[in-house]
Amino acid sequence: MPSLTAILERHRADFHPVVPFDAGRDRLYPFDFTEDNTELSPTTIASTEHFAGYINATLQRHKARYGIGGYGEHRTLYARSSHFNRPLVAGSETPRLDPGESEPRRLHLGVDIWGPAGTKVMAPLDGIVHSFAFNNNDSDYGSTIILTHQLDGVGFHTLYGHLSLNSLKNLYEGKNITKGEVIGEFGMRFENGNWPPHLHFQIIADMQGWKGDYPGVCRFSERQQWLDNCPDPNIILQLAGW
């Protein structure tokens, strides 16, 4: 059977945009949140207000509608929260985070799209609501929706994190979602995990028992197994100019 990545590649022309974007007019700015970005100090990252100021000023300076990036990126910025210092418990019946100290999670498994709160988020193809939740830990997803899709007889999932609380209204598991339907909007800091407004978009082959949540960051030493289960979201996003 073809891999999920191969199936997604075959259907590139079939995906609806996940966010409003005019390839002929809109610009994107590729953010770098690794240690190579010397513009970002620990102080700036630790303060959501300062971090948002950096995001907004950079987008304005480059006349970009969105900032984008992050898949497979080893991010130093996650030191801002102890949430990413807890590894996942291996073999636990209920997926959870290990309260013990170990290698911190720093490798990003999705793509982030940074832009104004209220930016519409749309389904790239038909599906159903797998699950949803308000993951209200500091630096977590905040409001989260996960959809299930089928392509060529293969099921997979898309995750939308850092949404508004309003995005979770009137949802129920199994609800039908049509391609292009507005499923949510970028949330503000009090509802999106205390981040500057953005969307975390991730593709997941196997949910591995998770509901309303799925890790968007893994330990670097375990990167291959997580990246294998979470193909490159750019196959669906296809944002021109990046």
Q: Dump pLDDT digits (tens) for 141-176.
A: 999 999 999 999 999 999 999 999 999 999 999 999
4-237, what's its fold? Glucose Permease (Domain IIA) (2.70.70)
Indicate the SS3 state at residue 183: strand
Please give the pLDDT value at position 94. 46
Q: State the Cα–Cα distance between residues 146 and 123, nearest whole angstrom.
A: 11
Which residues touch 192 (CB under 8 Å, ≥6 apart)? 141, 142, 143, 161, 162, 163, 164, 186, 198
**Six token digits for residue 25:** 């007019």
In this structure, are strands 111-114 and 142-151 parallel, antiparallel, or unpaired? unpaired
> Is 186's pLDDT higher than 50?
yes
Nearest CA to 161 out of 225, 204, 103 is that of 204
Residues above pLDDT 90, as percent of the chain: 72
Identity of residue 204: I
Please give the pLDDT value at position 87. 53
Least confident segment among 83-87, 99-103, 198-202: 83-87
> Is 232's pLDDT higher than 90?
yes
Please give the pLDDT value at position 96. 47
Please give the pLDDT value at position 92. 42
User: CB-hemisphere CA count at 13 Å for 210?
Assistant: 26
Q: Where are the domains of the chain?
A: 4-237
Residues above pLDDT 70, as percent of the chain: 88
Tell me the per-residue pLDDT of 87-137, one tens digit each, with 9 for 90 and over. Answer: 554 444 444 444 455 777 789 999 999 999 999 999 999 999 999 999 998
Report the chain's mean pLDDT, rounded to a whole number.
Answer: 89
Please give the pLDDT value at position 71. 95
